[in-house]
């Protein structure tokens, strides 16, 4: 089963699975990073997941070359990551969008929010 999500700035519509590939509980950390060749740097949100989620992502990405992972937060698509090869390390690099914000500011704000949620989830599990 699939549903269609739309990124808020670019308007890109993407079919996504109705079942999440990974859950908030699987997130370990997020950071804002720059990737790519000098002069063509791109600001991304690095999302790091636990080993269990990393294995699942590796398996899915092995068969999904040419497709994309979509970062969905609170039922809103906020980022996209094209899959060019299997993801073997649990590190996901999303280009993030939020209306009224630059790519970098959207990534910074989302990273702060997600890291606060990660901390809250960890505390509740203790």
Give tens-digit pLDDT for 60-102.
999 999 999 999 999 899 999 999 999 999 999 999 999 999 9
**Selection from 110, 98, 86, 101 nearest residue 32 by Cα:** 110
- Total-model pTM: 0.92
Percent residues over pLDDT 70 in the chain: 100
User: What whole-number distance in Å separates Cα of residue 110 and Cα of residue 98?
Assistant: 9
User: Considering the chain, what is the average pLDDT of its residues?
Assistant: 94
The yes-or-no verdict on residue 110 having pLDDT over 80 is: yes
Give tens-digit pLDDT for 8-27.
999 999 988 888 899 999 99
- Which residue(s) pair with 16 in the sheet? 3
Which residues, other chains included, contact 123 with Cβ-Cβ below 8 Å and sequence gap of 6+?
Answer: none
The yes-or-no verdict on residue 1 having pLDDT over 80 is: no
Contact 14, 80 (CB under 8 A): yes
Mean pLDDT of 37-55: 95
């Amino acid at each position: 089963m699939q549903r269609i999500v739309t990124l808020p700035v670019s308007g890109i519509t993407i079919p996504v699975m109705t079942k999440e590939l990974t859950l908030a509980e699987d997130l370990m950390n997020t950071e804002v990073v720059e990737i790519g060749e000098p002069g063509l740097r791109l600001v991304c949100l690095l999302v790091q997941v636990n080993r269990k989620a990393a294995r699942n992502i590796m398996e899915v990405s092995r068969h999904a070359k040419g497709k994309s992972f979509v970062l969905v937060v609170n039922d809103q698509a906020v980022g996209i990551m094209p899959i060019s090869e299997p993801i073997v390390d649990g590190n996901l690099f999303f280009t993030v969008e939020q209306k009224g914000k630059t790519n970098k500011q959207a990534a910074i704000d989302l990273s702060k929010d997600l890291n606060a949620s990660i901390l809250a989830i960890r505390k509740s599990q203790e």
